[in-house]
Amino acid sequence: MRVSKSALLLVGAILVSLSGVGLATPIVYLDRNTFIADTNAGLVEDFEAVAPKDTALPSFTSNGVTYSGVGGTNVWVASPGYLNFGVPITTSSVLTANGNEDFLVGLGTHANAAVGFDAYYNNLGNITIQYYGSGSNHLQTVTIIPGSTGGMLFLGLVLDEPIHSFRWTAIGGERINTGIDNLYVGTIPAPGAILLGTLGAGLVGWLRRRRAL
């Protein structure tokens, strides 16, 4: 039976919330090394070899993954050295889009239960990442709720069925860019890691209930 799950994680001044439908509690990772260790994830794309850079494209495919603009936007791989992301200066290539960023990442043959990446965010509004399974059925939505400044965080998500694609939607990109870098794909963690993730989600819920009392 599918049941709705939700969680709320605090990372400094950043909130990461979950909402969606799944067969088990989703596991969110905010540490890259732990995500890689638990899921045996491999780096699928770092965008360094993608060409052309700094060029608006309706879509492109690299290493078996397709990146497409949504709603009239174009995808864009920004070369290192940009000053208009949420960080002081970018030091690697970043996938972004023109205007308010809205793009779809189709994982193709890389579809699997664990997906992670570096997420660049601004302080101008929420960012939603919608995850889809086969047949484009919606599995989960993760929302990054920024604080007073922009920045970058690692965001990994593990579900109990393969993620075939995800959609990144942000606002304020015409002023401060958002985007992703270093795409990792892995498998479902070992049972011990799943237990820890479930306990973590339960602790968050308990803390929320205590605050409400």
Among 9-13, 108-112, 148-152, top mean pLDDT goes to 108-112
| Residue 195 clears pLDDT 70, i.e. is over it | no
Q: Residue 155 maps to which CATH number?
A: 2.60.120
Q: Average pLDDT, stretch 120-125?
A: 93
- Per residue in 27-66, pLDDT (tens digit) is 899 999 999 999 999 999 999 999 999 999 999 999 999 9
Assigned token pair, 35: 């995500």
Q: Which residue has better confidence, 93 or 190?
A: 93
Predicted pLDDT of residue 174? 86
Q: Average pLDDT, stretch 201-205?
A: 41
Neighbouring C-beta atoms of residue 175, cutoff 10 Å: 11
Assigned token pair, 110: 């890389």
Neighbouring C-beta atoms of residue 89, cutoff 10 Å: 10
Q: Average pLDDT, stretch 109-117?
A: 97
At 24, is the pLDDT very low, low, confident or very high (cuts 50, 70, 90)?
low
Question: SS3 sequence, the chain?
Answer: CCEEEEEEEEECCEEEEEEEEECCCCEEECCHHHHHHHHCCEEEECCCCCCCCCCCECEEEECCEEEEECCCCCEEEECCCCCCCCCCCCCCCEEEECCCCEEEEECHHHCEEEEEEEEEECCCCCEEEEEECHHHCEEEEEEEECCCCCEEEEEEEEEEEEECEEEEECCCCCCCCCEEEEEEEECCCCHHHHHHHHHHHHHHHHHHHHHHC
Whether this model's pTM surpasses 0.85: no
Q: Which residue has better confidence, 18 or 147?
A: 147
- Per residue in 145-186, pLDDT (tens digit) is 888 788 999 999 999 999 999 999 999 988 999 999 999 999
Q: What percent of the chain has pLDDT over 70?
A: 78
CA-based nearest residue to 153, from 7, 5, 10, 6: 10
Predicted pLDDT of residue 173? 87
Total domain count, the chain: 1
Domain span including residue 48 = 3-212
Please state, rounded to an integer, the average pLDDT across all residues of the chain.
84
| Residue 203 clears pLDDT 70, i.e. is over it | no
